Structure 1
Amino acid sequence: MMPDYAILQEAAEWFAVLRGEDAGQAERQAWARWHASSPAHQAAWRRVEAVSAEFRVLPGEPARMALDDAGPRAREAQRRRLVKGLLTLCLATGLGGAGLLRRDTRAWIAGVQAGQQTRVGEIRRTALPDGSQLWLNTATALDIDYTASLRRIALHGGEILLDSARDDHLPARPLVVDTVHGRLRALGTRFTVRPDGDATLLAVYEGRVEAAPRDGGATRIVPAGLRLRLSADGAGQPFALDPNAAAWTEHRLVPDQMRLDDFLAQLSRYRRGHLGCAPEVAHLRLVGSYPLADTDRILAALEATLPVKVRRLHDWWVTVEPLAQNK
């Protein structure tokens, strides 16, 4: 379970303090009391330590020397940046690293080694051997495996849109998308698939898709105009899809009365680091078409059209806040 954000920030603060050259016995004793006072503190501390080790947030002596050579104000500013960086990585990677939060570690390893991958912010279209068209969204990893009996796409992470074509092979082979949660079988269709936490999100734009949970249970046939969440042990009830949700294939986000916090959550998938939204402005609504080629231009457009200010505490720690908070 993810530690509370406030506790995670406390852990990041302590990490920065203890690794400063001016940390003394009093600071270490105070940290020990904080650490021992709550299992939640201990869990947050483990996360921060794991992230710092994996990503080398504080790379040994060079960083320590930089803090030592700076004046008190500069050291404090650098310490603040370190805290923000740790929080970013903790929130982005989970308990100390991408692999530790994956539902299925083998699926994560397969994603790292996948034959088809896109970088953060990259969107790519490719033609499959049978003439089907496949779009890979930002940070997507998959493998394509066509055999004499099956046309299979193994989606390890990210999001795809598949526009299926008729198979000229005799006998015709099923076209399926496998995720860690189950199998989706195309029935002459155009649909998107996105693994997301404990479920896979399916949205059907044309035709139908058969959704089968990984661990058994009833399958569902999902017609065009609907979407559902497929977990390993069952398929949820279909519900109406957003017709603009697949605009990413055209390198655009097209919100239609979308809440600002939901919009920023979508936008954050196309840029590295943390992109947050203050609760005071989360309810603001957006309408329009936003090109994904430059996410910073999108943030500038938000400042120009909404009563918000984009605050950059670091290159990779950005929050959208009310104007009143920025003086």
Structure 2
Amino acid sequence: MSLPAEEVKAIGVAARWYARLHSGTATDADRVAWDSWLAADPLNRQAWQRMAAVAEQMASVPGALAAPTLSKAGNSSRRQVLRSALLLTSAGTLGWLGWRSQAAQNLMCDYRTRVGERREFRLADGSSLLLNTDTSVNLRFDGRQRVLELLWGEILVSTAPDPLLRPFKVVTRHAQVLALGTRFIVRSQPGGGEVAVLEKAVEVSVPGSGSAMRVEAGQRVAFNDRSLGMQRGNDVSVGAWQQGSIIAIDRPLAALLNDLSRYRPGVLRWDPAIGELKVSGVFPIDDTDLALAALESGFALRVTRYSRFWVQVARADSR
């Protein structure tokens, strides 16, 4: 599967910008020039998101091909990571290392949402599918089964009775979820995911591991490619994104900011020293600037906006 030439070019430029901005020597003029490039074309913004995804996933590439993330690497390592990223783009796909990239999958998927977008679809069997921000799904319905392949992101599924009695499954790269006449949420991330059941029940399994579990309404379970976690009860935060909010209850600030970053384009970074600060509140995901302003005023934080697409969070008294 090949990317169009203009997208390959844009991703290459994005990689060079990423390396420059994470070099430790970037100037205000560099950020202004980057901001102008980012705003010049929607393709540039998409390429920037893809480059950020590559950087986040670099650390998980096994063996001698592994590289540190750009933000922690020295100058020589940054150059190596940049060369790796450009090799990925020149190949026309980011899957040559043995893992399929989010970028390539997004181009060919059946259903998708952009960063910050939520969208509902009615499926041919009468089931409904709600996609959260930055989500990609493939659909495989045939005479024997109904399968949703969640490539990336988060979905809420409400299944409909099927006259053909076909099983309904959600498949991620780490686990499978068999619906048992139900309404449930599945989230898939590079390292694993989570299933939360709102009605009836599901069966969650990790292929090849022997791990399988029935999860009833009101419960949720995390998973990775090796095993299932312990079941926990749902709380008010589960599925709050349907109503346009993130609900935090004594949640580490780093986890909250990581969630907020899923709903805004560009880069949202924070000082690791504030990552464990416990935060409670309701934060809008359709206006993440308002959410950041609420954090700034309510938790003694300072939000520095280098541009619309580059935001840093730190303690208010830090310099």
Q: Does the 8 A contact of 1:51 with 1:90 survive in 2?
A: no
Aligned residue number for residue 288 of structure 1: 281
Task: Determine which of 196, 201, 206 is the counterpart of 1:208.
Answer: 201
Q: What letter matches 1:161 in structure 2?
A: L
1:252 and 2:213 correspond: no
Aligned-partner Cα distance in 2 for 1:121–1:104: 25
Q: Does the 8 A contact of 1:104 with 1:180 survive in 2?
A: no
When residues 52 and 174 of structure 1 are mapped into structure 2, their CA distance, relative to the original with a 3 A threshold, is closer
Q: Does the 8 A contact of 1:92 with 1:273 survive in 2?
A: no
Aligned residue number for residue 21 of structure 1: none
Task: Determine which of 29, 44, 49 is the counterpart of 1:78.
Answer: 29
1:132-179, CA deviations, whole angstroms, 9 ceiling, x for partnerless residues?
221100011112222222111111111101122222x13x11111111
Task: Determine which of 293, 310, 324 is the counterpart of 2:317.
Answer: 324
Aligned-partner Cα distance in 1 for 2:98–2:221: 19
1:55 and 2:8 correspond: no
Q: Does the 8 A contact of 1:89 with 1:273 survive in 2?
A: no
Q: What letter matches 1:133 in structure 2?
A: S
Q: Which runs of 5+ in 2 are unaligned?
A: 1-8, 21-25, 39-47, 59-84
Q: Does the 8 A contact of 2:11 with 2:51 survive in 1?
A: no
Task: Determine which of 224, 249, 252 is the counterpart of 1:231.
Answer: 224
1:147 and 2:132 correspond: no
TM-score w.r.t. the length of structure 2 is 0.70
When residues 107 and 304 of structure 1 are mapped into structure 2, their CA distance, relative to the original with a 3 A threshold, is closer
The CA deviation at 1:268 is 0.4
Aligned residue number for residue 136 of structure 1: 131
Aligned-partner Cα distance in 1 for 2:141–2:95: 31
Q: Which runs of 5+ in 1 are unaligned?
A: 1-49, 64-74
1:240-284, CA deviations, whole angstroms, 9 ceiling, x for partnerless residues?
333312111111111122222211111000012221222343333
SS at match of 1:263: helix
Identity across aligned pairs (percent)?
31
Which range is displaced more, 95-104 or 296-305? 95-104
Q: Does the 8 A contact of 2:110 with 2:137 survive in 1?
A: yes
SS at match of 2:238: coil
Aligned-partner Cα distance in 2 for 1:144–1:241: 28
The CA deviation at 1:76 is 4.4
Q: What is the root-mean-square deviation of aligned Cα atoms in Å?
A: 3.3
Aligned-partner Cα distance in 2 for 1:77–1:106: 32
Task: Determine which of 54, 62, 79 is the counterpart of 1:93.
Answer: 54
Aligned-partner Cα distance in 2 for 1:177–1:208: 13
When residues 242 and 277 of structure 1 are mapped into structure 2, their CA distance, relative to the original with a 3 A threshold, is farther
Aligned-partner Cα distance in 1 for 2:98–2:130: 24
1:297 and 2:256 correspond: no
SS at match of 2:116: coil
Q: What letter matches 2:156 in structure 1?
A: L
1:5-35, CA deviations, whole angstroms, 9 ceiling, x for partnerless residues?
xxxxxxxxxxxxxxxxxxxxxxxxxxxxxxx
Q: What letter matches 2:54 in structure 1?
A: T
The CA deviation at 1:302 is 1.7
Structure possessing the higher radius of gyration over alpha carbons: 1
Aligned-partner Cα distance in 2 for 1:271–1:110: 20
1:306 and 2:299 correspond: yes
Aligned-partner Cα distance in 2 for 1:88–1:124: 20
Aligned residue number for residue 74 of structure 2: none
The CA deviation at 1:203 is 1.6
Aligned-partner Cα distance in 2 for 1:308–1:118: 31
When residues 314 and 202 of structure 1 are mapped into structure 2, their CA distance, relative to the original with a 3 A threshold, is same
TM-score w.r.t. the length of structure 1 is 0.69
Task: Determine which of 116, 119, 128 is the counterpart of 1:121.
Answer: 116
1:193 and 2:186 correspond: yes
